[in-house]
Amino acid sequence: MNKPLIFEALQEMLSVKVLTDVSMRKYTTWRIGGNADFLVFPASTDELSVLLIYLHENEIPWVVIGNGSNILVGDKGFHGVVIKMGEQFATTNWRDNQVDIDAGVLLPTLALEAAERSLSGLEFAAGIPGSMGGAVRMNAGAYGDTIGQYVTQIEVVTYTGSKQILTASDISFAYRNSSLFDVEALVSRVTLSLPRGSRDESLSKIRELLQLRSRNQPLEYPSCGSVFRNPPNDHAGRLIEMANLRGMQIGGAAVSKKHGNFIINIGGARAKDVVALIEEVQQRVYEYSGVRLETEVKMIGEFV
Catalytic residue among 47, 123, 155, 296: 296
Q: For the chain, where are the alpha helices, taking DSSP H only? A: 3-13, 45-57, 107-116, 132-137, 199-216, 236-242, 271-289
Q: Are 248 and 277 in contact (CB under 8 A)?
A: yes
Quote the CA–CA distance of 20 and 240 in Å, as a whole number: 39
Q: Which of 25, 117, 176, 213 is labelled catalytic?
A: 176
CA distance 304 to 257: 27
Looking at the chain, the number of H-run helices and the number of E-run strands are 7, 18
The residue annotated as part of the active site, out of 137, 226, 270, 284, is 226
Sign of the dihedral defined by the CA atoms of residues 83, 175, 95, 125, in that order: negative
Is residue 226 flagged as an active site residue?
yes
Q: Which residues contact 11 (CB under 8 A, 6 or more apart)?
A: 17, 18
Contact 79, 303 (CB under 8 A): no
Residue 118 annotated as catalytic: no
**Active-site residue, 296 included:** yes
Q: What are phi and psi of 102, to 5 degrees?
A: -65, 155
Crossing angle, helix 3-13 and helix 45-57, to 10 degrees? Answer: 150
Q: Which residues of 233-261 are buried (b: 16+ CB within 10 A; e: fewer)?
A: eeebbebbbebebbebebbebbbbebbbb
Q: What gap in Å lies between CA 47 and CA 294, rounded to an integer?
A: 36
* 159 Cβ contact list (under 8 Å, min separation 6): 52, 56, 184, 185, 186
> What residues contact residue 67 under an 8 Å CB cut-off, 6+ apart?
29, 86, 106, 129, 130, 131, 134
Positions annotated as catalytic residues are 176, 226, 296
